[in-house]
Amino acid sequence: MSKGMIALGIVLFAIAGAILYAWGLKKSMTQGEDLQRMLLNRCGSKVLKYLKKNGTISEKEIVSLVTGVQVGQFWSRRRAAVQDPRKFTKQLMEFLLDQQYIEPADKGCYRMRR
């Protein structure tokens, strides 16, 4: 092996290390937003699954469904959980209404969008 090959190997190793560092830094900066999005998706899917079986759901039933839900990324110890189910339910309902998964049915009840 020549000195040029060794130098090229060191430079390529340094470039690979820099790329991995930048990728990890970006992941750690957006981890909170990713966990929030994962929590909304997990709770939203629980609500939609309930709606497929029952037809309508009230806000009280949503509060009981989302209580204790936790999410986490497989490569991290950090987890997100529903701390205040009533407050999170309002955020979840806004998300599901904005995404047009559900629509209002009766007083305080919702159903799947047709």
User: How far, in Å, CA of 89 to CA of 106, rounded?
Assistant: 17
pLDDT exceeds cutoff 90 at 14: yes
User: How far, in Å, CA of 6 to CA of 4, rounded?
Assistant: 5
pTM of the model: 0.76
pLDDT of res. 72: 87
User: How far, in Å, CA of 15 to CA of 21, rounded?
Assistant: 10
Q: Which amino acid is at 67?
A: T
Secondary structure percentages of the chain, helix, strand, coil, to 5:
65, 15, 20
pLDDT of res. 7: 94
Each residue of 24-72: pLDDT tens digit?
Answer: 899 889 888 999 999 999 999 999 999 999 888 988 999 999 999 999 8
Asked if residue 64 lies in contact with residue 50, where contact means CB atoms within 8 angstroms, the answer is no
